[in-house]
Structure 1
């Protein structure tokens, strides 16, 4: 059952099988805080099975755009619209978070973002990307990268 991510009391609920569960929970909470502060939106996630359409959407864009297949199983996902942007997030067991930003208006921003939890190695399928570092009180050091989506989905 989908639930609202609490960024005040960070919980590993739903992420327990990850070897970096606490860091991934911090990363998820960091995203929840961002959406609460910027858009007053409650960041709600469900299991990968409950949110299968969101997981499939991200997988399709990654495969079609860059021939990327994420090796790690998806644990949780969400898809929502806020301020004219369709957002899809998938959190993977390895500690990876992938988000798809899709501005609904034609000609807007469309991109895929990758964030690596503190303590995880760069997955082989993302070795071609350069990752910038960012500090977070909730997630420690986050490494992130992205690419612009060219196709229509």
Structure 2
């Protein structure tokens, strides 16, 4: 069942099994606020079982680009397009969020982003390959993020 993320009243709906459910919900709400403010897009997520195609696309990019396999179980995902950018997000039980930004009319903006919920350790599959920058968020506390540029076509 689809859930429209409310960034004014942060909820852990669908994320309850994560040991970082509150922080992950704040991270998800932070993304929802960004897309609402920048693109007037309502950020809607589905359970992992209903978003298998999105999760497979994200996992394929991770594996083919950098030989990364996320060990944690996906809880929710979403895929949508704003302007000329195809977006996909997967939220994991470990507190990790992975997003893919993929321009559909050229390779100007094609990247994979990783965001860590406040308090979680960097997943073993991302150590030591990525350095994480810190960002403060009223909704999510301290977010640590990193990314890499996508080189191939997907």
TM-score bracket, normalised by the shorter chain, equals over 0.9
Residue 148 (structure 2) aligns with: 147
Residue 122 (structure 2) aligns with: 122
* Structure-2 separation of matches of 1:61 and 1:49: 19
* Structure-2 separation of matches of 1:31 and 1:6: 10
Residue-by-residue CA offset, 1:25-49 (whole Å, 9 max, x unaligned): 0000000000000000000000011
Residue 59 (structure 2) aligns with: 59
User: In the alignment, does 2:46 pair up with 1:46?
Assistant: yes
User: In the alignment, does 2:98 pair up with 1:111?
Assistant: no
Residue 120 of structure 1 deviates from its aligned partner by 0.2
Residue-by-residue CA offset, 1:88-121 (whole Å, 9 max, x unaligned): 0000000000000001112321000000000100
Residue 10 (structure 1) aligns with: 10
Task: Name the TM-score, length of structure 2 as normaliser.
Answer: 0.98
* Structure-2 separation of matches of 1:119 and 1:88: 24
* Structure-2 separation of matches of 1:18 and 1:115: 15
Q: Which blocks of at least 5 consecutive residues in structure 2 are unaligned?
A: none
* Structure-2 separation of matches of 1:104 and 1:152: 10
Residue-by-residue CA offset, 1:43-70 (whole Å, 9 max, x unaligned): 0000011010010001000000000000
Residue 21 (structure 2) aligns with: 21
Residue 133 (structure 2) aligns with: 132
Residue 84 (structure 1) aligns with: 84
Residue 32 (structure 2) aligns with: 32
Helix, strand or coil for the counterpart of 2:98? strand
Aligned length: 153
Runs of 4+ residues over 3 Å off in structure 1: none
Residue 70 (structure 1) aligns with: 70
* Structure-2 separation of matches of 1:25 and 1:64: 29
User: In the alignment, does 2:79 pair up with 1:102?
Assistant: no
